[in-house]
């Protein structure tokens, strides 16, 4: 669905690069094309729906009449005449280099005009032959950095999945916090906003002005650091030994800590809006604080809350700072109170040794009760028979498992454990366990584990119609970096889920994150009941609940929209209500 968006955004981005190449007189045009490119890239729907609707396209942020025409031209003809013209004056082969660290428009212009280099290959050969040495502006370090940049860009894209980035980030954050000069330190950047994939790890550190330089040096010498990319006394960039991830550390004073945190958390688009608001009020906003434009007087900067207050906005949680309407809503002080990890009362999708989990049920129960004291219930949901590879249980197995669960509950003196199942949705939308068994479970998660190349809408709709199905597990079926999500008509599925009293899962496994934040936002708007699950197969995976909560928060999700913030009594009511609904068939 979004492939077309990526293509269109790519063309606009390349046009922006062309205008950057053309120099100062075109620089604002370049910015305009970049903004439009990002808008298309962030679009929640397929850009193709605007093919015959210039008016709506024009209304999008950063897309005016002229760019709207060009997008429509591309959608209809597959090219943009203006872009074809631009390519005649700009060395197209070098355009892509502008996305590499260290390669800007001025550099590729010099390469082309002085050395007639117009492709990446020619550049690599020129570097190997030493043709750049002695050319004015190309010192030995610059040439070295160009080689490094090229090398890095040809290696696998160094983007990190959030769960890995969090691990690396928290590890070095912890080391930084232990340095005596550090008063405070926090993760910032897209990691703090909870994006699925991040490019680097940002950290903001508070220290006194006198300590900054010494601290910067110490940070570069931490054992986690494998290489130094840049090191001033307020900014340090290093590469982590473990993951090769880039870490940008900013060291600021207490006066500027909130401003720096705000600035380095982003998003870029969010910041630009904030700065514009400051401007309109006669102030200037930067990473050091909020200042009066004329007198330079410092107005605020110690905390993020201060900054938002001065700007007349409600505090905006990091997960919402994506310039997706949060500023307008914050101006009216109408932001939703987002769900938090402490609201969660239990995990409703996990696997024991009975199928493909690593632990026995009692060990999990004891671990979770100790580690998550706020939890009131834990639903064991092992696989059904079709999942042979995951040792799916037969109907008889489940009956035996019921007995075991009762015994453990009895031993622990609680009813903490609930009887559940992750039942397979077969190709025709039916389930692989009989109704007489399904009705005995406390909770039934139904999931697709086959037919990933099909449009699975009908299968999922049929599962929602089943009276004993309470939740659709990992509804999109994607595995990040491995398998694309299968095709689903989300409008239809969400409307069906809401109408039938079927919950949709936010599966918090790091390689799933399914529903995605964008789909959560859509589900919230359609009043679908959500459940945040870890799908844990090992004790350590119960920690992923935090990740699921982050996804929910990015989807503007309130506590009320998440079923497992409720007591078990309320969850039983949710289940009973569906069973009593009049059936279509």
The CA-atom distances, in angstroms, between 260 and each of 270, 405, 503 are 14, 51, 40
Nearer to DNA, 256 or 379 (CB): 256
Q: Residue 144 burial (CB < 10 Å; 0-12/13-18/19+)?
A: exposed
Site size for DNA, by CB under 7 A?
60
Q: Which of residues 178-197 bind DNA (CB under 7 A)?
A: 189
Binder among 178, 268, 297, 407 for DNA (CB under 7 A): 268
CB of 196 to DNA, least distance (A): 18
Nearer to DNA, 212 or 512 (CB): 212
Nearer to DNA, 60 or 344 (CB): 60
Strand boundaries in 407-489, DSSP class E: 417-424, 443-447, 471-472
CB of 213 to DNA, least distance (A): 9
Q: Which of residues 17-36 bind DNA (CB under 7 A)?
A: 28-29, 31-33, 35-36
Residue 563 · residue 571 · CB < 8 Å? yes
CB of 32 to DNA, least distance (A): 4
CB of 231 to DNA, least distance (A): 5
Binder among 22, 54, 96, 104 for DNA (CB under 7 A): 104
Binder among 75, 182, 249, 285 for DNA (CB under 7 A): 285
Q: Does 16 bind DNA (CB under 7 A)?
A: no
CB of 200 to DNA, least distance (A): 7
Q: Which of residues 139-178 bind DNA (CB under 7 A)?
A: 139-143, 145
Q: Which stretch binds DNA (CB under 7 A): 283-291, 345-353, 369-377, 462-470?
A: 283-291
Sheet containing 443-447, strands listed edge to edge, beginning at the edge strand earlier in sequence: 346-347, 377-383, 417-424, 443-447, 471-472, 503-507, 530-533
CB of 76 to DNA, least distance (A): 17
Binder among 101, 209, 305, 427 for DNA (CB under 7 A): 101
End-to-end alpha carbon distance in the chain = 32
- The residue count for the chain: 585
Neighbours of 455 (CB within 10 A): 11
Residue 150 · residue 111 · CB < 8 Å? no
Longest dimension (CA), the chain: 83
- Mask for 209-248, x = binds DNA (CB under 7 A): ---------------------xxxxxx----------x-x
Helix, strand, coil percentages (3-state) for the chain, rounded to 5, are 50, 15, 35
CB of 180 to DNA, least distance (A): 21
CA triplet 395, 420, 400: central angle to 5 degrees? 40
CA distance 202 to 208: 20
Q: Does 64 bind DNA (CB under 7 A)?
A: yes
What the block records as the tokens of 12 is 């606009």
Binder among 10, 45, 48, 61 for DNA (CB under 7 A): 61
CB of 248 to DNA, least distance (A): 6
What crossing angle do the helices spanning 3-21 and 65-77 adopt, rounded to 10°?
Answer: 120
Nearer to DNA, 39 or 401 (CB): 39
Nearer to DNA, 26 or 543 (CB): 26
Instruction: Identify the H or E element spanning 220.
Output: helix 212-220
What the block records as the tokens of 250 is 């900013």
Binding site for DNA (CB under 7 A): 28-29, 31-33, 35-36, 58, 60-68, 82, 100-108, 136-143, 145, 189, 200, 202, 230-235, 246, 248, 264, 268, 271-272, 275-276, 279-280, 284-288
């Amino acid at each position: 669905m979004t492939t077309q968006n990526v293509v269109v955004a790519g063309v606009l981005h390349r046009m922006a690069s062309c205008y950057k190449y053309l120099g100062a007189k075109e620089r604002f045009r370049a910015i305009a094309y970049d903004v439009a490119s990002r808008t298309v890239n962030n679009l929640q729907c397929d850009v193709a729906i605007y093919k015959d609707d210039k008016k709506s396209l024009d209304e999008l942020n950063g897309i005016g009449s002229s760019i709207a025409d060009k997008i429509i031209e591309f959608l209809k003809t597959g090219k943009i005449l203006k872009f074809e013209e631009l390519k005649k004056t700009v060395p197209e082969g070098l355009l892509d280099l502008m996305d590499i660290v260290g390669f800007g428009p001025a550099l590729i212009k010099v390469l082309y005009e002085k050395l007639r280099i117009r492709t990446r290959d020619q550049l690599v050969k020129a570097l190997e032959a030493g043709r750049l040495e002695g050319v004015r502006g190309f010192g030995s370090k610059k040439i070295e950095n160009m080689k490094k940049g090229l090398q890095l860009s040809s290696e696998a894209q160094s983007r990190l999945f959030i769960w890995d980035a969090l691990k690396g980030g928290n590890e070095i954050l912890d080391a930084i916090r232990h340095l005596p000069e550090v008063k405070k330190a926090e993760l910032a950047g897209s990691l703090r906003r909870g994006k699925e994939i991040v490019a680097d790890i940002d950290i903001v550190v508070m220290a006194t002005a006198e300590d900054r330089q010494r601290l910067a040096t110490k940070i570069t010498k931490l054992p986690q650091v494998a290489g130094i990319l840049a090191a001033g006394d307020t900014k340090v960039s290093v590469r982590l030994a473990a993951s090769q991830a880039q870490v940008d550390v900013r060291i600021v004073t207490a006066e500027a800590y909130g401003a720096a945190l705000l600035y380095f958390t982003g998003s870029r688009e969010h910041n630009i809006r904030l700065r514009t608001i400051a401007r309109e009020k006669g102030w200037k906003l930067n990473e050091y604080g909020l200042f009066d434009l004329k007198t330079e007087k410092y107005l605020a900067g110690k905390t993020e809350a201060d900054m938002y207050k001065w700007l007349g906005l409600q505090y905006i949680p990091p997960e919402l700072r994506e310039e997706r309407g949060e500023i307008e809503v914050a101006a009216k002080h109408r932001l939703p109170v987002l769900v938090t990890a402490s609201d969660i009362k239990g995990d409703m999708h996990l696997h024991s040794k009975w199928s493909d989990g690593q632990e026995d049920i009692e060990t999990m129960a004891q671990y979770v009760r100790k580690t998550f004291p706020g939890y009131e219930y834990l639903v064991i949901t092992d696989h059904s028979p079709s999942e042979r590879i995951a040792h799916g249980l037969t109907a008889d197995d489940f009956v035996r498992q019921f007995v075991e669960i009762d015994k453990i509950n009895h031993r622990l003196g609680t009813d903490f454990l609930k009887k559940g199942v992750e039942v397979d949705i077969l190709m025709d939308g039916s389930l692989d366990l009989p109704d007489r068994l399904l009705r005995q479970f406390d909770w039934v998660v139904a999931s697709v584990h086959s037919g990933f190349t099909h449009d699975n809408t009908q299968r999922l709709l049929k599962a929602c119609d089943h009276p004993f199905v309470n939740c659709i597990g990992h509804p999109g079926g994607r595995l990040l970096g491995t398998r694309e999500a299968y095709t689903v008509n989300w409008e239809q599925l969400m409307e069906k889920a809401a109408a039938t009293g079927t919950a949709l899962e936010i599966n918090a496994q790091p390689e799933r994150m399914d529903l995605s934040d964008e789909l959560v936002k859509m589900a919230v708007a359609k009043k679908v009941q959500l459940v945040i699950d870890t799908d844990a197969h090992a004790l350590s995976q119960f920690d992923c609940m935090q990740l699921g909560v982050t996804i929910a928060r990015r989807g503007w999700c309130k506590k009320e929209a998440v079923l497992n913030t409720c007591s078990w009594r309320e969850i039983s009511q949710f289940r009973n209500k569906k069973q009593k609904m009049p059936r279509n068939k």
